Amino acid sequence: MKIVLLDALTFGETNLSAFNDLGEVEVFQTTSPQEVQERITGCDVIVTNKVVISSFHMSNTPSLKLICVAATGMNNVDLEAAKTKGIEVKNVAGYSTDSVIQHTFSMLFYLMGHSRYYDEYVKSGSYSNSAIFTDVSRPFFELKGKKWGIIGLGTIGRGVANIAKAFGADVLYFSTSGENNTDDYERHNLENILKGCDVISIHAPLNEQTENLLDYEQLLTCKNGTVILNLGRGGIVNEEAVAKIVDEKDIYFGLDVLTKEPMVKNHPFLGVKNRDSIYVTPHIAWASVEARDRLISSIVENISSLK
């Protein structure tokens, strides 16, 4: 069996040796659209994270039996074509849940505690010149007693809700599909979530219901001091609106996902004046060492089950 990994760079330094027990393995760190067909020709299994596999690629690779998507979402594979051609497509679910939940709180506390300011205050030498032992020039607040609104109460959203509750927060949620109901937490409409919550975190997929869900007009309704965290998908929050509103209002954003990744060179975030009000990480919430190990193990298992 010939196995081709098309974008192994996304796994970082994760050990890939388990693939060698399954057959002949060829590993490419990155693959451009123009290189895909040449690299998959004659293979039985493709492993891809973000590289697009189209009907054209499948038609020109008659040996192909399985496409392993190294992620939960499978929008980079033509699923209808695969079904028609009898090619299995397998994804991996649940491997990054704990990692994303942890990163949600990491982003929150960085923003809520003004970590950037206080770290630079000490490292710049300002603390050494202080007349007193402390500095409270940037007020921060406790999570206990605050209202936390969750947009998308799936597995990750519920995990965040449970930990927020343990901190003493009052958790509310908005169902983006309109179908999610639970007795554990109060369900509210989006307007109430935006107007009433101190923290709002997004854990929803990007679809017709969620695209541009939070635009400038919606963000204006948030209270001063609100922290909004997007750990779902880029495109749910309008990034131009975010760049505009942080320079106009006391509001904070933590984003691990962007509409286009990597970030474009002229992105509006790069021109923000209130830089302490926005915290962006390069799509890393999913990528703890443990999560990447679980991902590889699951992919290997999917290939092993190939009939």
Q: Which residue among the candidates 233, 239, 292, 294 is catalytic per the annotation?
A: 233
Among candidate residues 261, 275, 290, 301, the one labeled active-site is 261
| Phi, psi of 230, deg, nearest 5 | -110, 105
Q: Which of 249, 256, 237 is nearest to 104 (CA)?
A: 256
> What gap in Å lies between CA 87 and CA 45, rounded to an integer?
10
Residue 188 among the catalytic residues? no
User: Does the annotation mark 233 as catalytic?
Assistant: yes
User: Are 28 and 47 spatial neighbours (Cβ–Cβ below 8 Å)?
Assistant: no
Q: Which of 39, 114, 116, 283 does the annotation list as catalytic? A: 283
Spatial CA neighbour of 276 closest among 116, 151, 142, 155: 116
Are β-strands 88-90 and 66-69 bridged in parallel, bridged antiparallel, or unpaired?
Answer: parallel
User: What are the b/e assignments for 65-88, b being 16+ CB within 10 Å?
Assistant: bbbbbbbeebeebbeebbeeeebb
Q: Write out the catalytic residue numbers.
A: 233, 261, 283
